[in-house]
C-alpha cells in the first residue's frame, strides 16, 4: 500500500493489535504484517511515539533469556481507537466525493 495512505492508519493498527491483550513488538509485527506491511524500524518508532503520547504503557520482562517488552493500551489509547470511527466516517465522505460521477 502507498506509504502516504498508510500513515493515517498505522498508529491505529498497532493500538488495535494490543486492544484486548498486551503484546510485544515481535508479535505485533507478526499480527499486523499480514494485513498491513510494516518493518521493524517502523513498528518500534510507532511504539515509542504511542508511549510518549500516553496511548500505551510498557512493561519490560525477561522471557527465555531475552528481553521482551509488553505494551498495554491506556484509557487514552482506547479513546483514540473510539475516535477513529468518526474519522473513518469523514474519510468515507471524502471517498464518495472522489468517486462521485460529476458528468
Q: Which residue ranges make up the site for DNA (CB under 7 A)?
A: 3-4, 6-7, 10-11, 24-27, 37-42, 44-49, 63-69
Q: Residue 36 interacts with its own copies (CB under 8 A)? A: yes
Taking each helix axis as running N to C, give the angle between helix 25-32 and helix 40-52, from 0 to 180 degrees, rounded to the nearest 10.
Answer: 120
How far is Cα 89 from Cα 40, in angstroms, rounded to an integer?
30
Task: Supply the minimum distance, in Å, between the C-beta of residue 16 and DNA.
Answer: 14
Part of the chain binding its own copies (CB under 8 A), chosen from 43-51, 53-61, 64-72, 84-92: 84-92
Element spanning 27, H or E:
helix 25-32
Residue placing its CB nearer to its own copies in the complex, 64 or 100: 100
Neighbours of 15 (CB within 10 A): 21
Amino acid at each position: 500500500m502507498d506509504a502516504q495512505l498508510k500513515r493515517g492508519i498505522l498508529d491505529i493498527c498497532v493500538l488495535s493489535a494490543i486492544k484486548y491483550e498486551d503484546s510485544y513488538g515481535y508479535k505485533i509485527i507478526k499480527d499486523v504484517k499480514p494485513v498491513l506491511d510494516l518493518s521493524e524500524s517502523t513498528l518500534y518508532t510507532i511504539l515509542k511515539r504511542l508511549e510518549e503520547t500516553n496511548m500505551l504503557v510498557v512493561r519490560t520482562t525477561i522471557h527465555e533469556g531475552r528481553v521482551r517488552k509488553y505494551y498495554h493500551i491506556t484509557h487514552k489509547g482506547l479513546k483514540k481507537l473510539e475516535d477513529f470511527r468518526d474519522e473513518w466516517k469523514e474519510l468515507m465522505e471524502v471517498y464518495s466525493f472522489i468517486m462521485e460521477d460529476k458528468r
